[in-house]
Amino acid sequence: MTKRFEHLTPELAATLPLPGSAAPQQMRFAPDGRALFYLLSDGDGMALSLWRYDIATKTVTRIAGPQSEGEWSADEELRRERTRMVWEGITSYEVVGTGDDETILIPQAGKLFIKRGAGPLKEIPGVYDAIDPALFPEDPSRVAYVFEDEVWVADTRTGEARAVTNGAQLGVSHGLSEYAAQEELGRAEGYWVSPNSQYIAFEEADVRHIPEYPIVHWEADQAFVETHRYPLVGQPNARVRLGVVATADDGAVRWFELGEEDQYLARVAWTPANQLAVMVLSRDHHHLQWRLYDVATGTYRVLFEEESPLWVNVGDDTRFLASGDVLTTSEASGYRHLWWYTQDGRGRPITQGDFEIQRLLAYDAEGRTAYVTATKETPIEVHVYQVNVDTGVMVRISEEPGVHQAVVSPDFRYWADQSGSSFLSPQTRLVSLTSENSEVLHGHERIRPADLGLASPEFVTLTLEDGTRLYGAIYEPLPRHEKVPAIIAVYGGTHAQTVVNAWGMTVDLQAQLLRQKGFLVFKLDNRGSYHRGKDFEGALYRRFSTVEVEDQVAGVHWLVQNRRVDPTRVGIYGWSYGGYMTLMALLKASDLFKVGVAGAPVTDFRLYDTAYTERYMQTQETNLQGYVEGSVLPLVDRLSGHLLIIHGLLDENVHFRNTTLLVDALNRAEKDYDLVVLPYSRHAVRGYHNVLTVVRRRTQFFEKYL
């Protein structure tokens, strides 16, 4: 029976998983296309199991799980933080081989488990605290992983292991990506096994020169200090090298020349011909270059490059083809589109238009067909398309409205479609690419908002004076009074989109709770947000807290004119960049915003990291005015509304130092504020009681002052 939420409480709003959101995750087909694997919880819990759907027999088998979480190493806990992982149980897996040779690797709480063919699941003996394990592509009897900052190779049957790198020491690691790559460039891995299993490329990261940042664990029985080498904006990054070792022996490392020291190792990939492709990104983010290295000589040639007067967004859509050509995506036209590069570096666009290719899913070389997700019809929906790479013709193959996620089988016979909208909970289907057949794998009985006692948000558009269209979503309170208070739920920063026709919009139980208490809740994607093209996102380049705040102000004025909103009772809340936006709204538009709840806010971007901040703001040397005008701290004397600050003491991303300096500035300005500290929380709020505290205190604050 579906639980109903027409009488929401903070306790209900803080309970995970959200209704209807437990759907298959990390879907991937077996290498031979005969099965679909995915992670899914059994019921209402957060512990995931690994499942295998056999396409021919239409049977589902649980491969493993759910298992007890156990204790994570400090490195693994921080890796989970980088990916914002909130699920428990089995959270990753790998499949290689076909038929009787199909081999499945499952990491769990530092141990490794393996299943071969129809055999049982077995633990690999003697392997503990393994980070980022990966089976050898052509030899699943061997597994690589990182242990004590070195890359190791183990026999999956006996557990016999040896280190293939050496020389790691305190502050120098092999096979692990550095903080900037993990947090800001989306690269979690730090080593790469070649397709022929003969080589391992790996990163060496040296952070000894970066000052330590301390985080005190006051919550522990015996307080201790956790230290991080955090690269503050304008300061040195990690010194990174890329090396290759042969897997057959303990041979010498061949180090590859990367050029300038002050640049980012953004991506590494092996080509089908066992050459090493490397993406380097200039520190100012204006120039991206893909290089092809010869493993035997260490020399390279440039495959292609991209430049932007704003910044280059790093993607994961590059495919190195057996022909030597490259299929990728690029924002060279102003929107992210498919591009084709020949071996000699000549490029041509495949798709064009005022929309974005969000992901390159697969490429069928024989059929000259790419499979992509894109926002072709509207920026708030994502659909799946087949694209002819010669003509650029796009054919939509997803049907129902909303947001679609998909994976395509290696033999191009099937695709798995997971779709949902604000009106329907997610459903996962296996769809034939050669016929009209499809089968529902999960979400047979779909949930509608009315089934939960909830209402979907209303999607709206508003147009700025310069003609720019913004997309918003309104949660209307019931009953509708003559004049209602409004609350803006904001993020406002780059690389994020908050207004989409997805189920998550409906089961935003914080917004729904406020709606039930009589508030109108409004979300608006201001200029600077993602998936609207480079000029739209680049509107805030070098000038944080300008156009974002202006657009949110315009959104409130639109509400006052088009909804029954009381302009004297407007509040705002957000987390991270949204916390920063909350503070700036209270300080720069104090005549409009009367109450704010700022979560984990950056208060001065000179306190934040290199890779994120310099991408959008450059450095103080080149943009001092932008940093000064974008700081919250000099503006606190403008505060006239009511402010609640919430921050986790263990936040290693937006350090609690930001809130400490804000509190000191508020004290010196003799301003009143409220503060909630989460002793056990990092940047992503996890754990029922932490989430409950945020929801409860945020809700109470708006009830008290709006």
Catalytic residue set: 576, 651, 683
- Tell me, letter by letter, the H, E, C secondary structure of 178-214: CHHHHHHCCCCECEEECCCCCEEEEEEEECCCCCEEE
**Rounded distance between C-alpha atoms, residue 653 and residue 660, angstroms:** 15
Tokens of 365: 């070389």
**Rounded distance between C-alpha atoms, residue 631 and residue 604, angstroms:** 5
Please write down the long-range contacts of 281-288, taking CB distance under 8 Å and 24 or more positions apart: 281/185, 281/312, 281/314, 283/237, 283/610, 283/614, 284/311, 284/614, 284/618, 285/311, 285/312, 285/614, 285/615, 286/311, 286/312, 287/312, 288/312, 288/314
* Neighbouring C-alpha atoms within 13 Å toward the C-beta of 23: 29
Cβ-contact 488, 475 below 8 angstroms: no
The closest alpha carbon to 105, from 157, 68, 32, 152, belongs to 157
For the beta carbon of residue 352, count every other beta carbon within 10 angstroms. 11
Residue 40, classified by CB atoms within 10 Å of its CB into exposed (0-12), middle (13-18) or buried (19+), is buried
Tokens of 266: 């953004």
Tokens of 204: 């060496």
Residue 642 falls in which region: left (phi positive, over 0), alpha (psi -120 to 50) or beta:
beta
**Rounded distance between C-alpha atoms, residue 471 and residue 477, angstroms:** 20
Tokens of 298: 């260490």
Residue whose tokens read 């003996």: 125
Helix axes 620-629, 610-617, angle to 10 degrees: 90
Cis peptide bond N-terminal to 17, omega within 30: yes
User: DSSP states of 239-270 as a string?
Assistant: EEEEEEEESSS--PPEEEP---SSEEEEEEEE
The counts of H helices and E strands in the chain are 12, 44
Cβ-contact 492, 458 below 8 angstroms: no
**Rounded distance between C-alpha atoms, residue 438 and residue 137, angstroms:** 31
